[in-house]
Amino acid sequence: MIIEFPGTRGEIEESSAEHKYHSSLIIRYKKTSALIDFGIKYNPQLINKINDFDFILITHTHPDHYIWTLEDENRINIPVYLTRIALDYSKYKPKDYRIIKDSKEYRLKDLKVVAHKVTHSLRCPAVGYKIKGDKTLIYAPDILDFEEDKGVVFKDVDLLIADGSSLNINMVRRKDDRLYGHTRVKTIIGWCKKYNIGRLIVTHCGKQIVTMDKKELAGRLEEYTEGKINVIVAYDGYRMEL
C-alpha cells in the first residue's frame, strides 16, 4: 500500500512551503487508487489526473475538505463518496456522488472502507475512514474524538493519520452541552499508546505546527511519545510505502 499527501494544511491563514495545500490523502493498493478529500486549496497537480482515481472519499464538508461547499466543480467525473448529511449540507454537489453510511464496511475495488463518525463540527458532521488493504490505516484529519468505542475503531490498525490542528493547545469548544473542535496531537499520541498503534502521521497542520521551530517540534513529539510511537509530521508531497 502506498500513501501520498498532496496537501497537509488545515483551515488556517498561515502557510509554508511544506504545508501549502489543504489536507488530502492518496492511497494506492493493487489496481486501486483513491483520494480522500478535495478542498478549495487543492494541490494543482491533482486536477489534471483527477479522473484517473477510482473514487474520492469525503470526510466532511468544511471547504478545506470539500470544494463543492463553495464551488460548482464539474471537472470531476469519478464517484465521490460522502454521508447523506454531508451531501445535504452543501450548496453544490459532485456529478457522481454516492452515499456512504457510517459504521458499515464497503468493498470499493481492492479496498475495504468504513466511515466512522467523529466529533468535530456541530453543523457539519464528520467521519474518519478506516481503510484496509494488506495493511490497515485510519484517516481522521479533523477530529475531537471518535463517537464509537476507540477499542473497536482502532482494532488491528497499523497506521493512524490524524489531526495536527494543535500540538498541545486546547481547541475544544462547547455549545450547550455539546463539544466540538479539534483534539491535540498530544492526546492522539496517548490514544496510540493506549490502543497499541505503533505509527502516527500528523496532517491537517494548524498554526502551531506550521509556525513552530522544527527542533522544538521534534523535541515535543519525542517527549509525548516517550520513544514508543513512530510519529512524523507529513508535508505536501510526502509519500511512503506502508
- Which residues here bind Zn ion, judged by CB under 5 A? 11, 62, 64, 142
CB of 134 to Zn ion, least distance (A): 29
CA-to-CA separations, 23 to 4, 83, 120, 209, in angstroms, rounded: 11, 19, 16, 14
Taking the least distance from each CB to Zn ion, the nearer of 92 and 196 is 92
Taking the least distance from each CB to Zn ion, the nearer of 182 and 199 is 182
Instruction: Give the span between the Cα atoms of 56 and 76, in whole angstroms.
Output: 10
Taking the least distance from each CB to Zn ion, the nearer of 64 and 73 is 64
Alpha helices in 49-166 (DSSP H): 84-89, 150-153
Q: Supply 63's cell numbers.
A: 471547504
CB of 37 to Zn ion, least distance (A): 8
Taking the least distance from each CB to Zn ion, the nearer of 1 and 127 is 127
CB of 23 to Zn ion, least distance (A): 7
Taking the least distance from each CB to Zn ion, the nearer of 28 and 62 is 62
Among 98, 71, 74, 73, which residue's Cα sits nearest to residue 87? 98
Taking the least distance from each CB to Zn ion, the nearer of 64 and 110 is 64
Strand spans (E) along the chain: 2-7, 24-29, 32-36, 55-57, 80-82, 97-99, 105-108, 111-119, 126-132, 136-140, 145-146, 159-163, 171-175, 178-182, 199-203, 230-233, 239-241
CB of 13 to Zn ion, least distance (A): 13
CB of 121 to Zn ion, least distance (A): 6
CB of 141 to Zn ion, least distance (A): 6
* CA atoms within 13 A of residue 22's CA, in its CB half-sphere: 20
